[in-house]
Structure 1
């Protein structure tokens, strides 16, 4: 995967799309957008000595490679939207808690840097969705590669918060920071960033609500089972905007 990241970086540099020296940018704390064009989105987030570099490149029509380089590990995704196939490709050590904490502010930075839903390039949409997915990748355990396909489908749930069937279980799920099911964050069932009782996060990530994402939120399903939902599920709920509990 490190080789994949380096290969994609080499390709990007070869076509002359650099935004200038990246070393100084990388050393700065916080979010930095390094590159954004029709096929590429590259950004970093650094805090407390830990950093992550996200690179999303549409390498051919409807095929996007997304990598998250923490130095060690490097976690990648291969997304073929024509075939409806995704690959999860981790390499190196387990993701640790400090590294995982970089993902939410990285996602917020990306959200602020790119257009609203429906106006994004393929690489921008992939970056949003896979960064959302990175929020549920387990920490402290070695990860194995796997493939997932959209043909297996997903089942949307209602956007309205209430008692719902989430695939063999009945739980509270739907939009709203108060939709916690009695514990944890709200917005249960969302394939993306959750929301808390006392916080009103920006509208970032997907607005798809599905059974597999709800099962994961309740510890009833694995992150891998929700992979196709995060990557490919259509957005069935609308977001009312930045600063709104949704």
Structure 2
């Protein structure tokens, strides 16, 4: 992957230092300072704590992902006056989202995906629980409806998700039947060619050096969300907990 930005790091985990060393010029161990064109600044990165900012001119975001107990992570993303918090417990398969009825504009929603793409090129993809939670949360936020008050809700993985077939076909998404999966015959103008994918459009999957950033999963709740018959909140456990089933297609 070609990287057109430089990352500034105030604190590095050992694995990230090895990876990012190839991106800096010269023999100095010090990373090059971030530039405005880069957009991404990682201020702290340890196996349990990732914090930084992103500003590509279209929108500015602050983000933090903290594993405060093993496999229990708090992810915070700040967009303007709106602070979005996601509490994730991978041990219990439970989560809670709260934005205090704040909302995102279209530029801020789009920046979620661009930030995820930038992170995929800068850090080991889903290398830790903290980065996995951050990536999946950003992917979920990238399909939030702009200019609408964001609801507060809790969700559990035990409520289940239903994986779909990856290739385009007429499928049953828990009682809702339509064309789902990847293919030219699938989808509508709102979700062309890949309804059911938990993420924006048909990509990006397989980002980063280990190929784990992005959706890579097609589920019933994500399909119903794509077709406008299911809510954003109903798909939350699919985004945050369901394992990928369609990587590499």
TM-score, normalised relative to structure 2: 0.77
Structure 2 residues without counterparts, runs of 5 or longer: 1-8, 13-32, 207-212
Q: For the structure 1 residues 180 and 47, does the alpha-carbon distance in structure 2 shift closer, same or farther, using more than 3 Å as the test? A: farther
The count of aligned residue pairs is: 214
Cα distance in 2, alignment partners of residues 194 and 42 from structure 1: 27
CA contact (8 A) 1:173 1:179 kept: no
Cα distance in 2, alignment partners of residues 40 and 215 from structure 1: 34
- Tell me what 2:234 maps to: 225
| Equivalent of residue 128 in structure 1, options 122, 125, 135 | 135
| Equivalent of residue 186 in structure 1, options 176, 193, 201 | 193
- Tell me what 1:33 maps to: 42
Q: For the structure 1 residues 193 and 171, does the alpha-carbon distance in structure 2 shift closer, same or farther, using more than 3 Å as the test? A: same
- For residues 87-133 of structure 1, what are the alpha-carbon distances to aligned partners after superposition, in whole Å with 9 as ceiling and x for unaligned? 0011363211221121111010112223346xx21011111111100
Cα distance in 1, alignment partners of residues 243 and 229 from structure 2: 22
Structure 1 residues without counterparts, runs of 5 or longer: 1-16, 240-245
Cα distance in 1, alignment partners of residues 79 and 55 from structure 2: 10
Cα distance in 1, alignment partners of residues 162 and 139 from structure 2: 19
CA contact (8 A) 1:107 1:128 kept: yes
CA-atom RMSD in angstroms: 2.4
Q: For the structure 1 residues 137 and 214, does the alpha-carbon distance in structure 2 shift closer, same or farther, using more than 3 Å as the test? A: same
- Tell me what 1:234 maps to: 243
CA contact (8 A) 2:187 2:194 kept: no
Cα distance in 2, alignment partners of residues 47 and 109 from structure 1: 10
- Tell me what 1:161 maps to: 168
Q: Which runs of 4+ in 1 moved over 6 A?
A: none
Cα distance in 1, alignment partners of residues 34 and 215 from structure 2: 28
CA contact (8 A) 1:26 1:44 kept: no
- Tell me what 2:63 maps to: 54
| Equivalent of residue 179 in structure 2, options 172, 182, 200 | 172
